[in-house]
C-alpha cells in the first residue's frame, strides 16, 4: 500500500515539475498551495501562552491531474508544529489525501480519499475545512451512476480520516435522487420543478466493553451496525421554493449522547420566496440525538459522518461573530427568518442609488426533555418542537446605502441572546447589543479606503476569580478599523478591539498584504482574542495569541 502511494506521489509530483505545463501527456495539472505561519509570545493579560517552538506552521499543497475523464490528485500537508488552536495530533507531514477518479457520462468512480454529501448532509457529509482543522474524508470507493437523465445513484464505502490515521468504523452508504422534470418528458418545461431523494448510511464498528454504571458485571449491548436514513424533496414553482428533509438514525449509544439507546431524528424545512428586489426565507429545524460518528468513543468534532446544517446567520463583522452559535447535534429546535428588500433608486428611501435592507432573526432552543435514565437506557423523552431552554437568539437589521458614486455606507444593529451552555459552560444568558458602521470610499482609480466602527454592549462580565466568568469575550467593547487598498496589489490595515468595561484586553492588529495574480502574501502583527471560530455551526477553539502571522496562498 505504501509503495503504491509512493509511486503515485512520485508520478504526480514529477508531473508537476513543470507547474504551468498544461498538456502533459495530454492532461492538465492544476493546484494550489497555502502556508500559514505564526509566532506568539506569552501575554498574561489576554491569556496567550508562550510557544516553545517560536514558529508554528500549517502548510498544504493540492495537486490535481486531469486528462479527459480521468483525474488523480493528492494533498500534501505539513503541521510543524500545528498553529495554536489546531489539535497537536496533526503534528507531522506527509501525503494526507490521494485519489484516482474516472468521471464518465453515466458512471463516475473515485478510489482513494473522497468527499461526498447526501442531501443536506444530515445522514452523510464528508468535507474538509482547513480553518477548522477538520477533514473527515472517506478513504474507500465512491461510485455515482446515472442510468437515465435526471436519476443519480450513489454508493460508497470507506473509513474516515482522523488526523494522520483512519477511524476504526466502516461507513457504507447509498443514495438516490430523481429529478422528475428530467425523467418525465411531459413535465420537462413545467413551472413546477420537483426533485425527490433518499439515502441510507450504515456504519459498522467492532464491539467494545462499556461497563454498565449500575452493575459492573454488566456491559452495554452495543449495536455494531448503526443505520441512518433520510428522505428529501426539493420543489419550486415560479418565485417560490421549498426544500425539506427528514432523517432518522437507529440506536447509536456513543460518548456524544452519554451512551443512550434513543433513536435519533431530524427535520429540516427551508422555504424561499425570491423576486427582483425582494426575497424572504424561512427555515425550521428539529434535531434530536443526531450525533452520528464512525467511532462511538470519539468526542469533539472529528469523525462525524453527518452534518446538521446551521440556520443562524453567518456573521462576518467581529463583534457580531464574537458569540457564534455552535450546532447542538444532540438536540435543538431552530427557526430563522431572513428578509431582503431593495428600495429602488428614485424612491423616498431609495434615494439616488437605492437602499438595501436586510433583516434576519433566528432563535434556537433546547429540546423539552424528560429524563428517563442515563447510560444504557433510552435516556429521555421529548416532544416534537416543544421548546426547552433558550440556546441562542438574534435579530439583526442591516442597511446598505450608496451615498455617492464613491462612498457606500453599511450600518448594522443586532441584538443577541447567547447561552454559554452550548459551549459546554454553565447555563446563563448574555444579552448583547451590537452596532456596526462600515464605510467604503473609493478615493480614486488606484486608492480606496474602508472604515469600520463597532460597538458591543453586553451584560456579561469578566472575573478571574469566578470560574463561571472567565470568558475573555465578556463585557463592553469598541473597535475601529482602517483599511487602505493601493491599486490592485497592496493593502494595509490597522484595527483595535478594546474591552472598555467589565471585560479584559486590548487587541490591536496591523497587517499588510500583496497580491499578484493568484498569489497573495499577508503579514500581520497583533493580538488574537481567545474564542470560538465557527463555520456552518461547526466550531474550533481559538486560543489567545500575541505575535506575528504570515500567510501565503497561490494557485496554478
Partner 1 sequence: MKKIFYYLMGIIGTISLACCDKINPEEYTIYDGAVIKWEKTNTTITPVQRVYVEKYTGPKCNNCPLADATLNNIHNENVVVVSINHPTGQGTPFPDQPDMRTDGGNAWDNYFGINAIPSAFINRDQSKLYQGSMDNIVSDIDQALSMTPIVALDVAANATLNNDYVFVNIDLMFAKAYNRPVTMTVALIEDSLYYKQLLPDNSVDENYVHNHMLRKVITGFWGRDVEATGTAGECVLGELEFSPSDDVKLQNCHIVAFVSDKSSRKVLNVASCKIE
The residue (of 17 and 147) whose beta carbon lies closer to partner 1 is 147
Closest CA to 108 of 155, 66, 150: 155
The residue (of 217 and 467) whose beta carbon lies closer to partner 1 is 217
The residue (of 281 and 377) whose beta carbon lies closer to partner 1 is 377
Contact call for residues 326 and 422 (beta carbons, < 8 A): yes
Tell me how far apart the alpha carbons of residues 204 and 443 are, in angstroms, rounded to a whole number: 61
Nearest distance from C-beta of residue 120 to partner 1, angstroms: 19
Q: Who's near 356: CB < 8 A, 6+ residues apart?
A: 340, 341, 342, 343, 398, 399, 400, 401
Nearest distance from C-beta of residue 196 to partner 1, angstroms: 15
The residue (of 376 and 526) whose beta carbon lies closer to partner 1 is 376
Nearest distance from C-beta of residue 251 to partner 1, angstroms: 6
DSSP letter string over 267-318?
EEEEEEEEETTEEEEEEEEEEES---BSSTT--TTTTBS------S----ST
Chain contacts with partner 1 (rule: CB under 8 A): 106, 145, 147-148, 153, 155, 172, 174, 176, 200, 202, 204, 209, 211-212, 214-221, 223-227, 229, 250-251, 261, 376-378
Nearest distance from C-beta of residue 182 to partner 1, angstroms: 15
Q: Backbone phi, then psi, for 192, in 5-degree steps?
A: -80, 115
The residue (of 379 and 393) whose beta carbon lies closer to partner 1 is 379
Nearest distance from C-beta of residue 220 to partner 1, angstroms: 6
Nearest distance from C-beta of residue 156 to partner 1, angstroms: 11
Nearest distance from C-beta of residue 146 to partner 1, angstroms: 10
Contact call for residues 164 and 94 (beta carbons, < 8 A): yes
DSSP three-state, residue 396: strand
**Peptide bond before residue 81 is cis, with ω within 30 degrees of 0:** yes
Tell me how far apart the alpha carbons of residues 394 and 425 are, in angstroms, rounded to a whole number: 20
The residue (of 200 and 385) whose beta carbon lies closer to partner 1 is 200
The residue (of 73 and 167) whose beta carbon lies closer to partner 1 is 167
Tell me how far apart the alpha carbons of residues 288 and 280 are, in angstroms, rounded to a whole number: 27
The residue (of 192 and 224) whose beta carbon lies closer to partner 1 is 224
The residue (of 118 and 323) whose beta carbon lies closer to partner 1 is 118
Q: Which residues lie across from 108 on neighbouring strands?
A: 103, 144
Contact call for residues 338 and 313 (beta carbons, < 8 A): yes
Nearest distance from C-beta of residue 227 to partner 1, angstroms: 3
Nearest distance from C-beta of residue 211 to partner 1, angstroms: 7
Sign (positive or negative) of CA dihedral 317, 479, 457, 503 = positive
Nearest distance from C-beta of residue 226 to partner 1, angstroms: 7
The residue (of 263 and 524) whose beta carbon lies closer to partner 1 is 263
Tell me how far apart the alpha carbons of residues 322 and 533 are, in angstroms, rounded to a whole number: 9
- DSSP label of 226: E
DSSP three-state, residue 125: strand
Give the count of alpha carbons within 13 A of 180, CB side only.
Answer: 14
The residue (of 101 and 170) whose beta carbon lies closer to partner 1 is 170
In Å, the largest CA–CA distance within the chain is: 79
Distance of CA 102 to the CA centre of its chain: 28
The kind and range of the H/E element at 513 are strand 506-516
Distances (CA, A) of 418 to 324, 421, 429, 549: 9, 9, 5, 31
DSSP letter string over 528-542?
E--EEEEETTEEEEE
Nearest distance from C-beta of residue 153 to partner 1, angstroms: 6
The kind and range of the H/E element at 330 are none
The residue (of 78 and 226) whose beta carbon lies closer to partner 1 is 226
- DSSP label of 449: E
Nearest distance from C-beta of residue 203 to partner 1, angstroms: 8
Amino acid at each position: 500500500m505504501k509503495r503504491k502511494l509512493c509511486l503515485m506521489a512520485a508520478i504526480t509530483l514529477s508531473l508537476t515539475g513543470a507547474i504551468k505545463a498544461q498538456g502533459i501527456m495530454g492532461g492538465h495539472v492544476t493546484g494550489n498551495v497555502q502556508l500559514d505561519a505564526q509566532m506568539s509570545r506569552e501575554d498574561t493579560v489576554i491569556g496567550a501562552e508562550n510557544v516553545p517552538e517560536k514558529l508554528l506552521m500549517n502548510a498544504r499543497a493540492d495537486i490535481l491531474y486531469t486528462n479527459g475523464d480521468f483525474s488523480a490528485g493528492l494533498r500534501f500537508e505539513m503541521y510543524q508544529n500545528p498553529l495554536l488552536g489546531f489539535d497537536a495530533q496533526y503534528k507531522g507531514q506527509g501525503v494526507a489525501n490521494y485519489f484516482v477518479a474516472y468521471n464518465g457520462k453515466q458512471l463516475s468512480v473515485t478510489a482513494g480519499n473522497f468527499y461526498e454529501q447526501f442531501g443536506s448532509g444530515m445522514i452523510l457529509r464528508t468535507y474538509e475545512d482547513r480553518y477548522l482543522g477538520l477533514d473527515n474524508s472517506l478513504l474507500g470507493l465512491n461510485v455515482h451512476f446515472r442510468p437515465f437523465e435526471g436519476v443519480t445513484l450513489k454508493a460508497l464505502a470507506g473509513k474516515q480520516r482522523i488526523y494522520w490515521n483512519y477511524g476504526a468504523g466502516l461507513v457504507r452508504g447509498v443514495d438516490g435522487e430523481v429529478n422528475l422534470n428530467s425523467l418525465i418528458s411531459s413535465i420537462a418545461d413545467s413551472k413546477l420543478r420537483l426533485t425527490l431523494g433518499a439515502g441510507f448510511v450504515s456504519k459498522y464498528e467492532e464491539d467494545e466493553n462499556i461497563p454498565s454504571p449500575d452493575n459492573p458485571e454488566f456491559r452495554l449491548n452495543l449495536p455494531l451496525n448503526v443505520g441512518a436514513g433520510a428522505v428529501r424533496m426539493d420543489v419550486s414553482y415560479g418565485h417560490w421554493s421549498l426544500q425539506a428533509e427528514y432523517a432518522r438514525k437507529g440506536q447509536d449509544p456513543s460518548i456524544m449522547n452519554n451512551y443512550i439507546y434513543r433513536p435519533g431524528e431530524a427535520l429540516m424545512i427551508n422555504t424561499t420566496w425570491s423576486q427582483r428586489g425582494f426575497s424572504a426565507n424561512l427555515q425550521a429545524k428539529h434535531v434530536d440525538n443526531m450525533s452520528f460518528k464512525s467511532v462511538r468513543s470519539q468526542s469533539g468534532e472529528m469523525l462525524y459522518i453527518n452534518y446538521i446544517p446551521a440556520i443562524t446567520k453567518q456573521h462576518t463583522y467581529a463583534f457580531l461573530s464574537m458569540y457564534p452559535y455552535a450546532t447542538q447535534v444532540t438536540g435543538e429546535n431552530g427557526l430563522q427568518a431572513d428578509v431582503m428588500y431593495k428600495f429602488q433608486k428614485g424612491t423616498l428611501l431609495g434615494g439616488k442609488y437605492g437602499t438595501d435592507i436586510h433583516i434576519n432573526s433566528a432563535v434556537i432552543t433546547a429540546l423539552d426533555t424528560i429524563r428517563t435514565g442515563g447510560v444504557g437506557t433510552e435516556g429521555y423523552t421529548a416532544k416534537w418542537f416543544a421548546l426547552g431552554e433558550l440556546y441562542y437568539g438574534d435579530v439583526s437589521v442591516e442597511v446598505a446605502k450608496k451615498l455617492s458614486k464613491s462612498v457606500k455606507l453599511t450600518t448594522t444593529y443586532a441584538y443577541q441572546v447567547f447561552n454559554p451552555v452550548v459551549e459546554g459552560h454553565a447555563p446563563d444568558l448574555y444579552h448583547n447589543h451590537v452596532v456596526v458602521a462600515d464605510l467604503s470610499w473609493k478615493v480614486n482609480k488606484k486608492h480606496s479606503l474602508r472604515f469600520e466602527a463597532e460597538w458591543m454592549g453586553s451584560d456579561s462580565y469578566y472575573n478571574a476569580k469566578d470560574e463561571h466568568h472567565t470568558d475573555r469575550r465578556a463585557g463592553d467593547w469598541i473597535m475601529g478599523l482602517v483599511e487602505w487598498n493601493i491599486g490592485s496589489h497592496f493593502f494595509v490595515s490597522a484595527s483595535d478591539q478594546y474591552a472598555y468595561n467589565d471585560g479584559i484586553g486590548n487587541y490591536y492588529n496591523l497587517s499588510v498584504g500583496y497580491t499578484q495574480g493568484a498569489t497573495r502574501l499577508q503579514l500581520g502583527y497583533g493580538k488574537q482574542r481567545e474564542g470560538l471560530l465557527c463555520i456552518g455551526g461547526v466550531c474550533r477553539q481559538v486560543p489567545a495569541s500575541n505575535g506575528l502571522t504570515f500567510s501565503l496562498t497561490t494557485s496554478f
